[in-house]
């Protein structure tokens, strides 16, 4: 019976392939448009399929060695096409939209995943990327692992006023609500000093001083832009805060602070330990 079934499948295979029923091969050439999407590919052990990324894909280090196609919100169609991808993974803010449509017309499969800074959206990102890479079991395993680790991280920063700042572009911006940073503060029970404001907001020296944060959280690139932690805290406005006076600052990898990705438990542990410390906490 098994021999007959095998022979039947063998005979029907050409017809199934012609009808598009046969299982397609996993994508071998992938371009990532958005750091969180790229990071998930590597977290799923599919990094060997990556042939190009956008400029926000700064983790893991292997991604930095790949050809760049511009920033994901304004990427180069020509740059992507030149890499001959069979899959383009894009955050839902990638674009402009007509650029994604152009990639589709030119024959690339484009899969868009959500970018919202929530746990639910993170699950969707991981499962969406895993499905596109044809590794759904690995995607579910990663989601389960994340949630197991997150259950062990309890709120521990109640009462702390925290100012999150990003300034690697030379323009200082505070991190408000509806951001990855704000979501992490809420998970740890801390108070965002910019609560009530949405997104990233430029702010003046006077505004920084008025916020009176107990702790400042910033990114590695923001520190690199001015040369040192001391130079960062000496900037107008920041220097007048209780956080700067007590040198209470947490320095995080940019993607850890600015996006919710597969390293979320690591980000929360780093932030939790930094907020609890009375000294500079850096990474």
Q: Residue 225, Cα to own-chain centre: how many angstroms?
A: 21
Query: What mean pLDDT comes out for the span 21-26?
Result: 61
- 161-276 CATH choice from 3.40.50.1980, 3.40.50.10860, 3.40.190.10, 3.40.50.300: 3.40.50.1980
pLDDT of residue 278: 64
Q: Are 90 and 84 in contact (CB under 8 A)?
A: no
Answer yes or no: same fold for 30-151 and 161-276: yes
30-151 CATH fold: Rossmann fold (3.40.50)
pLDDT of residue 35: 95
Show the tokens assigned to 126.
Answer: 């991981």
Torsion angle defined by CA atoms of residues 254, 257, 262 and 267, in that order, rounded to the nearest 10 degrees: 110
pLDDT of residue 178: 94
pLDDT of residue 10: 41
Q: What is the CA radius of gyration of the chain?
A: 22
Please state, in angstroms and as integers, the Cα–Cα distance from residue 261 to each residue in 16, 42, 126, 159, following that order: 38, 11, 9, 26
Query: What mean pLDDT comes out for the span 231-242?
Result: 90
Comparing 76-90, 97-111, 167-181, 240-254, the range with the smallest average pLDDT is 167-181
Which pLDDT tens digit goes with each residue over 118-170? 999 999 999 999 999 999 999 999 999 999 999 999 998 888 999 999 886 66
11 versus 102: the higher-pLDDT residue is 102
> How far is the C-alpha of 17 from the C-alpha of 263, rounded, in Å?
39
Which pLDDT tens digit goes with each residue over 90-101? 999 999 999 999
User: Does pLDDT of 18 surpass 70?
Assistant: no
Please state, in angstroms and as integers, the Cα–Cα distance from residue 79 to each residue in 15, 68, 73, 88, following that order: 37, 8, 14, 12
pLDDT of residue 193: 94
Q: Where are the domains of the chain?
A: 30-151, 161-276
pTM reported for the whole predicted model:
0.85
Query: What mean pLDDT comes out for the span 221-250?
Result: 91
């Amino acid at each position: 019976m098994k021999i007959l079934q095998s022979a039947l499948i063998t005979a029907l295979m050409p017809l199934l392939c012609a009808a598009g029923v046969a299982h397609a091969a996993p994508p071998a050439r992938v371009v990532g448009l958005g750091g969180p999407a790229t990071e998930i590919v590597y977290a799923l052990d599919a990094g060997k399929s990556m042939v190009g990324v956008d400029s926000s894909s700064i983790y893991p280090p292997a991604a930095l060695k790949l050809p760049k196609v511009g920033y994901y919100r304004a990427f180069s169609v020509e740059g992507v096409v030149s890499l001959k991808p069979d899959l383009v993974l894009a955050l839902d803010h990638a674009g402009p939209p007509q650029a994604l449509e152009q990639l589709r017309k030119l024959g690339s499969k484009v899969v868009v995943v959500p970018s919202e800074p929530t746990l639910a959206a993170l699950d969707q990102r991981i499962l969406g990327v895993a499905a596109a890479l044809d590794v759904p079991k690995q995607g579910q395993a990663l989601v389960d692992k994340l949630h197991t680790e997150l259950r062990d991280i309890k709120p521990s920063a109640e009462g702390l006023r925290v100012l999150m700042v990003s300034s690697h572009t030379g323009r200082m911006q505070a991190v408000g609500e509806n951001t990855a940073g704000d979501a992490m503060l809420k998970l740890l029970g801390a108070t965002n000093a910019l609560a009530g404001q949405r997104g990233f907001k430029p702010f003046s020296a006077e505004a920084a001083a008025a916020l009176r944060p107990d702790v400042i959280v910033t990114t590695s690139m923001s520190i690199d832009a001015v040369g040192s932690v001391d130079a960062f805290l000496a900037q107008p406005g920041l220097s007048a805060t209780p956080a700067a006076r007590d040198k209470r600052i947490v320095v995080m990898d940019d993607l850890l602070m600015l996006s919710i990705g597969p390293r979320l438990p690591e980000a929360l542990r780093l932030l939790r330990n930094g907020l609890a410390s009375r000294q500079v906490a850096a990474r």
